[in-house]
């Protein structure tokens, strides 16, 4: 563990993070149409938008825009030009960005679109299960849940053809007291 540099208790909040909306991963409008590069780029654009707001970069209608060149995105995300172009195109097709050309070799102005939130009131459990209806073993509707609140578990012993009762492990009181950090 000499070469490993672990966090100390006072260092856990020392980072800033990019936020990527979870809805990009579950909303049918986005989860299958955006790849991971596009979702990550959207998080970067949201972060860059806060900088634009501080600098008061908005048009005559009050819409915030930002400037984030393809070259900058390539360097930040470590992606090639083709992949970055594809990510921008996917976000544009999903109506999550709009690019306004300035011409004369100036960078495009990028407007970040809001996510169209899904209406979860009308969703059922089936909406969150796998998409293949014929697949029976992996669909959540066909899986029997294990009741983990039982005090014991029956274990089938095929060799003896009988059931043994299992009551769990026995722990010493000293061991259990060591589990409580604030005692």
pTM for the model stands at 0.61
Q: Considering only CA atoms, which of 30, 64, 29, 24 is closest in space to residue 48?
A: 64
pLDDT value of position 88: 96
Is residue 84 within 8 Å of residue 70, measured between CB atoms? yes
Mean pLDDT of 52-73: 91
Residue of 4 and 79 predicted with greater confidence = 79
In angstroms, the CA 126 to CA 128 distance is: 5
Q: With DSSP H G I counted as helix, E B as strand and the rest as coil, what are the percentages for the chain, rounded to 5? A: 35, 10, 55
Residue of 17 and 130 predicted with greater confidence = 17
In angstroms, the CA 6 to CA 105 distance is: 46
60, pLDDT greater than 70: yes
pLDDT value of position 1: 63
In angstroms, the CA 145 to CA 69 distance is: 50
Residue 163 vs residues 28, 53, 78, 98, 145: alpha-carbon distances, Å = 46, 67, 57, 65, 21
Mean pLDDT of 27-51: 92
pLDDT value of position 154: 43
In angstroms, the CA 76 to CA 57 distance is: 22
In angstroms, the CA 141 to CA 133 distance is: 10
The C-alpha angle with vertex 101 and arms to 53 and 45, in degrees rounded to 5, equals 35
Please report the domains of the chain, with CATH numbers, ordered by start residue. Answer: 18-116 (1.10.10.10)
DSSP letter string, 21-61: -THHHH-TTTTTTS-HHHHHHHHHHHHHHHHHHHTT-B-TT
How many Cβ atoms from other residues are within 10 Å of residue 171's Cβ?
Answer: 10
Q: Return the minimum-mean-pLDDT range out of 35-39, 70-74, 103-107.
A: 103-107
Confidence tier at 163 by pLDDT (50, 70, 90):
very low
């Amino acid at each position: 563990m000499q070469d490993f540099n672990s966090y100390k208790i006072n260092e856990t909040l020392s980072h800033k993070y990019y936020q990527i909306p979870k809805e990009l991963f579950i909303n049918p409008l986005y989860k299958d149409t955006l790849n991971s590069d596009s979702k990550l780029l959207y998080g970067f654009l949201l972060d860059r938008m806060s900088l634009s707001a501080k600098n008061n970069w908005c048009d005559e209608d009050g819409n915030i825009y930002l400037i984030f060149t393809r070259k900058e995105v390539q360097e930040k995300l470590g992606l090639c030009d083709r992949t970055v172009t594809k990510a921008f195109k996917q976000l544009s097709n999903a109506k999550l960005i709009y690019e306004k050309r300035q011409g004369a070799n100036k960078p495009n102005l990028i407007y970040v679109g809001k996510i169209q939130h899904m209406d979860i009131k009308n969703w059922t459990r089936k909406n969150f299960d796998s998409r293949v209806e014929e697949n029976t073993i992996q669909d959540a509707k066909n899986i029997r849940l294990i009741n983990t609140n039982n005090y014991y578990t029956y274990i089938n012993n095929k060799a003896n053809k009988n059931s043994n009762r299992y009551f769990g492990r026995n722990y010493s009181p000293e061991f259990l007291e060591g589990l409580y950090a604030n005692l």
